[in-house]
């Protein structure tokens, strides 16, 4: 087990978690704000569900043999012996919440927040990570699939992530999947000696999952396996053609990927993923698909559904250029001597009352050190309060980006600083 302290004996964060500090927090919030504005423009409303649920919620949806359920859940028993799990993904909690609260269907819901999977941490893969996601309940048309896929791609375009590829597949429905499954099992049974241990087990339990395997020998076998897309029923084929047409209508390029079955059991028909070569091994920026049976499996009415989740850490890793560290919309009030302190304090409070973020140093340090503190706080400007200024009813305002200093009459101070901060932001 890894130590919980560093070599100097100071406590460190658990493996696979991240600390987020300024200015990264600002970048994070901007990306999240872009997501909210985008999905709200498509009629989505926010939903917030618990960070932990009864374990059954995830087992029922992801599938008993999925990696998430067998290896990756943060599962625990609480003090009253409840079997609970930190949510590894958002979809099942949303479905549960809609049904439990008798929320109207059809509905379009979005969420943002932390998720937890116990996997081996590496670049882009963490034990605590964050997703933004959408779920559409009660829409069956292929145009909805195209719209959902488009929204994800548009998000990556708006935040300025490196270009990503849309991978697309269909895995059929309850009518056509049994026949395909039988065909696949027959194929895999004839190749058992070339499959890894895990895929041999999967052959019986969940053969479609074999497509997920990264093992080279399994991949070589799969190159000749029957493909879901070529064995779907007429209705699924028609739906899938509609999805592709919808994407083309929106001029969104996509790549058909016959192996894209996704790691969760609830999918039917359309599956998709956004991938980027900028990320290395963890190349999936986000993914989703249709899950037309899940609502009924949770005891609700037959309800077609589709959604996606996008990884925030991976999105930030894929941003084209890290933003230059911006100065904050904050003004630092610098006072030159004890006589000016009461006036400086009043000025800081007046600025705050005018809606401007202001900070003041109480330590009584020399002005030079107060300027240094302003710089460390990444303030965009300083207001300087000295004896001259006070005597003549003005303040000096220093723009910390350009270094330019201006004398401003006291009654124009708030307007002047506001304009300066707006330009800095
Ligand atoms: P997922 O493909 O398991 O789908 O996760 C979606 C995205 O979350 C991934 O593409 C990745 O960007 C991010 N992600 C997943 N695991 C990690 C990790 N360990 N570290 C960092 N990022 C990670 C779902 O979660 C489905 N609920 C999506 C969905 C919504 N399907 C229908 N509706």
Q: For 212-236, how does the pLDDT look when each residue is reduced to its tens digit (9 = 90+)?
A: 888 899 999 999 999 999 999 999 9
What pLDDT shows up at residue 204? 86
Is the C-beta atom of 119 inside 6 A of ligand 1?
yes
- The residue whose CB lies within 8 Å of the most ligand 1 atoms, and thus the one to mutate among 92, 167, 314, is 314
- Percentage of the chain surpassing pLDDT 90? 84
pLDDT at residue 325 above 80? no
User: 417 alpha carbon to ligand 1 midpoint, in Å?
Assistant: 43
* Residue 262 pLDDT: 87
Asked whether 125 lines ligand 1 (CB < 6 A), one says yes
Q: What is the pLDDT of residue 1?
A: 77
What is the SS3 assignment for 245-272?
HHHHHCCCCCEECCCCCCCCCCCEEEEE
The whole-number pLDDT of residue 322 equals 64
- Please state whether beta strands 128-137 and 284-290 pair in parallel, antiparallel, or not at all (unpaired): unpaired
Would the pLDDT of 420 be above 90? yes
Query: For residue 22, which of 326, 420, 361, 310 has the smallest C-alpha distance?
Result: 326
3 state SS of 97: helix
pLDDT at 65 over 90: no
| Interatomic CA distance for residues 259 and 414, integer angstroms | 60
- Give the long-range contacts of residues 244-249, CB within 8 A, separation 24 or more: 244/168, 245/142, 245/146, 246/142, 246/143, 246/145, 246/146, 246/147, 247/146, 247/149, 247/150, 247/166, 247/168, 249/146
Contact 74, 85 (CB under 8 A): yes
> b/e map of 161-179 (b: 16 or more CB within 10 Å)?
beebbbbbbbbbbeebbee
76 beta partners: 84
CA-based torsion, 259, 265, 270, 272: positive or negative:
negative
The pLDDT confidence band at residue 264, using thresholds 50, 70 and 90, is confident
| CB 131 less than 6 A from any atom of ligand 1 | yes
Read off the pLDDT of each residue in 34-58 and give the average, rounded to a whole number: 98
Task: Give the mean pLDDT of 189-203.
Answer: 92
pLDDT at 21 over 70: yes
Q: Is the CB of 285 under 6 A from ligand 1?
A: yes
Instruction: Write down the mean pLDDT value for the chain.
Output: 94
Mean pLDDT of 82-106: 98
Q: Does residue 386 have a pLDDT over 80? A: yes
Examine the pLDDT at 2 and tell me if it is beyond 70.
yes
- Residue 287 Cβ < 6 Å to ligand 1: yes
Q: The whole model's pTM is what? A: 0.92
> Between these two residues, 395 and 3, which has the higher pLDDT value?
395
| Least confident residue range of 108-112, 211-215, 256-260 | 211-215
* Percent of the chain with pLDDT strictly greater than 70: 98
Span from the CA of 309 to the centroid of ligand 1 (angstroms): 6
Query: What pLDDT digit, counting tens, does each position of 327-364 carry?
Result: 899 999 999 999 999 999 999 999 999 999 999 999 99
């Amino acid at each position: 087990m890894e130590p919980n302290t560093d070599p100097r004996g100071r406590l460190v964060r658990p493996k696979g978690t991240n600390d987020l500090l300024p200015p990264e927090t600002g970048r994070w919030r901007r990306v999240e704000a872009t997501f909210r504005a985008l999905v709200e423009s498509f009629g989505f409303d926010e939903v917030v569900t618990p960070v932990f649920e009864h374990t059954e919620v995830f087992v029922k949806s992801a599938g008993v043999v999925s990696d998430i359920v067998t290896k990756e859940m943060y599962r625990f028993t609480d003090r009253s012996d409840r079997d609970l799990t930190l949510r590894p993904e958002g979809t099942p909690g949303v479905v549960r919440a809609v049904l439990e609260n008798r929320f109207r269907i059809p509905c379009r819901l979005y969420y943002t927040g932390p998720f937890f999977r116990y996997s081996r941490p590496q670049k882009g893969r963490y034990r605590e990570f964050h997703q933004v996601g959408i779920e559409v309940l009660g829409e069956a048309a292929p145009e909805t699939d195209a719209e959902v896929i488009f929204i994800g791609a548009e998000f990556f375009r708006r935040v300025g992530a490196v270009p990503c590829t849309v991978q697309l597949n269909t895995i059929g429905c309850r009518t056509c999947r049994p026949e395909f499954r039988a065909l696949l099992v027959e194929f895999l049974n004839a190749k058992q000696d070339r499959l890894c241990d895990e895929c041999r087990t999967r052959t019986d339990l969940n053969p479609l999952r074999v497509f997920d395997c990264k093992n080279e020998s399994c991949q070589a076998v799969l190159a000749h396996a029957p493909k879901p897309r070529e064995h779907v029923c007429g209705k699924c084929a028609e739906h899938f053609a509609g999805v592709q047409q919808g994407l083309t209508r929106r001029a969104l390029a996509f790549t058909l990927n016959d192996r894209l079955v996704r790691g969760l059991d609830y999918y039917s028909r359309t599956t998709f993923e956004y991938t980027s070569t900028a990320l290395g091994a963890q190349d999936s920026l986000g993914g989703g698909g249709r899950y037309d049976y899940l609502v009924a499996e949770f005891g609700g009415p037959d309800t077609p559904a589709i959604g996606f989740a996008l990884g925030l850490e991976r999105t930030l890793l894929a941003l084209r250029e890290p933003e230059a560290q911006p100065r904050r919309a904050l003004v630092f009030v610098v006072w030159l001597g004890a006589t000016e302190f009461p006036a400086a304090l009043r000025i800081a409070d007046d600025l705050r009352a005018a809606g401007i973020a202001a900070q003041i140093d109480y330590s009584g340090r020399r002005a030079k050190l107060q300027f240094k503190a302003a710089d460390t706080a990444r303030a965009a400007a300083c207001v300087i309060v000295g004896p001259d200024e006070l005597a003549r009813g003005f303040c000096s305002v220093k723009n910390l980006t350009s270094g330019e200093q201006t004398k401003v009459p006291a009654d124009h101070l708030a307007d002047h600083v506001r304009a300066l901060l707006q330009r800095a932001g």
